[in-house]
Structure 1
């Protein structure tokens, strides 16, 4: 039986894999600042998450080059917290750690904090507003980027005794920097099967399943022109309801000419137009 995801969807991003050069430093950030638990650890790999789910895999690659400035890849991994109080606790952890926010925004559908991990990977920590409060017109959501009152957010924190993120915390979405928005739309909408939820001119696209505001964000703001390379994003895992949904996604992606790299009955690995690896797997 499909277990409901915190985004309310049966198709969603459940886990992100990153290549890092300093495993200890990056692991400490996601444990102490984001609040994730270490679920498994070897000398060259760590799995982090909560009691309910694994959310992040860190793979040590000490020789990995920095991501080139023109390469496509990760804009941020967005961790969804179950309440405003839990997000306030996360802000308290950020301040206590000495890490600096790179942004704090009210998106009308959510409230979000932005920062970077020790190797420069973008991180968003956010909470959703109730879905009935989301502004929508003709089936499209109307997100915006407005200032967030961080003092008020901090005042509403739960004051949790430890630094752990709540067990309901999940990867809510992933936001990618791509080289061509039309090619990416064909892959993630026509191929993977997400719906367009909002379009910002010809520079950003937000796609999702089951009426969520977005499971994948795509942008060309920094004018990336080369395929993904260097350290950082390795793989994104997308869960679909069952093996029939895996088969349907495989057929759609084959129909648009996407390359399937690994294949089994209940999952497959495919590369998007920028070489970003997407694993489609059955719940």
Structure 2
């Protein structure tokens, strides 16, 4: 029996998804994603020349600190990705390790996605693609084995939900001719103004434990729950800010000798909202480290999130 699908806009906000006991505000955003890589120069060549990031700053290895490179996009000083060089770091295996599955860069328009895909195809590189119903996406693997999704969202007026309020995903072939045609004659000039970190997707060991951390304590709403071995959670009715799956359950957790996610940042609109999220996480017993940039909280698989607030300046 096929489920009845409704336009997203036909349901009130309170009926979209399964709301957390204390939901995060709609105005959250994802901040810097910190990755360790084996060779910084190799990674920079890929992130700049292939993905189209702009190098914002670079620091050498000194005093026991790893060499780093901060990457952003045109028109902004926000750091989307911070690469930390760890010579000899083992690449991500095909099945993955518990930790990061992929990071996802959100482009402003379909034309931007078309220009990006035309650019990558012109380099002779393999790029995967899919239509997810609410978005059109491309996928590419970096030199350390990290998967990077580059995608564009359809307007929410085109999204679909079930009668129960579940945002409906899809895994259909991308309309590649249509996406490429949308690019027009404008050349690719790197990630455009308005590009942001759209979502992250994690390999976890147990969806029940993942929900306890990300939904019940941190406060993300469950937006999609009918996928095999995966849940999508978000804030403000977004299809997902985080994907959580058990597709690599039984694999080891990424360690200090691996190319891995060091931490990710979650920005909340106010200090009060940040402190409320922290209080919930502490009450649930999750490890918290106080840093100059804010509290750093660790999930059951060593994935660390830095809680930041727009009320404080970025470091």
Q: Give TM-score, length-normalised by structure 2.
A: 0.82
What is the CA deviation profile of residues 159-205 of structure 1, one whole-angstrom value per residue up to 9, with x for unaligned ones? 44452111100000001111111101111111211100001356101
> Where is the strand percentage greater, Structure 1 or Structure 2?
1
Query: Corresponding residue for 2:304?
Result: 277
Deviating above 4 A after TM superposition, structure 1's stretches of 4 or more consecutive aligned residues are 67-70
* Match status 1:19 vs 2:36: yes
1:92 aligns with one of 118, 140, 146 = 118
What is the CA deviation profile of residues 116-162 of structure 1, one whole-angstrom value per residue up to 9, with x for unaligned ones? 01111011000000011110133321111111022221121144445
* Match status 1:244 vs 2:272: yes
2:178 aligns with one of 124, 144, 152 = 152
Instruction: Report deviation, 1:34.
Output: 1.7
2:79 aligns with one of 45, 54, 72 = 54
Q: CA RMSD in A?
A: 1.8
**8 Å Cα contact 2:91/2:145 also seen in 1:** no
* Match status 1:35 vs 2:63: no
Query: Corresponding residue for 2:132?
Result: 107
Instruction: Report deviation, 1:65.
Output: 3.3
Q: Which runs of 5+ in 1 are unaligned?
A: 1-7
**8 Å Cα contact 1:177/1:224 also seen in 2:** no
Larger Rg: 2
Mapped partners of 1:270, 1:167: distance in 2: 31
Instruction: Report deviation, 1:234.
Output: 1.1
Instruction: Report deviation, 1:223.
Output: 2.5
Q: Which runs of 5+ in 2 are unaligned?
A: 1-24, 61-66, 311-315
Query: Corresponding residue for 1:5?
Result: none
Mapped partners of 2:266, 2:234: distance in 1: 11
Aligned residues: 274
Matched residue SS, 2:225? strand
Q: Give TM-score, length-normalised by structure 1.
A: 0.91
**8 Å Cα contact 1:32/1:93 also seen in 2:** no
**8 Å Cα contact 1:246/1:267 also seen in 2:** no
Query: Corresponding residue for 1:234?
Result: 262
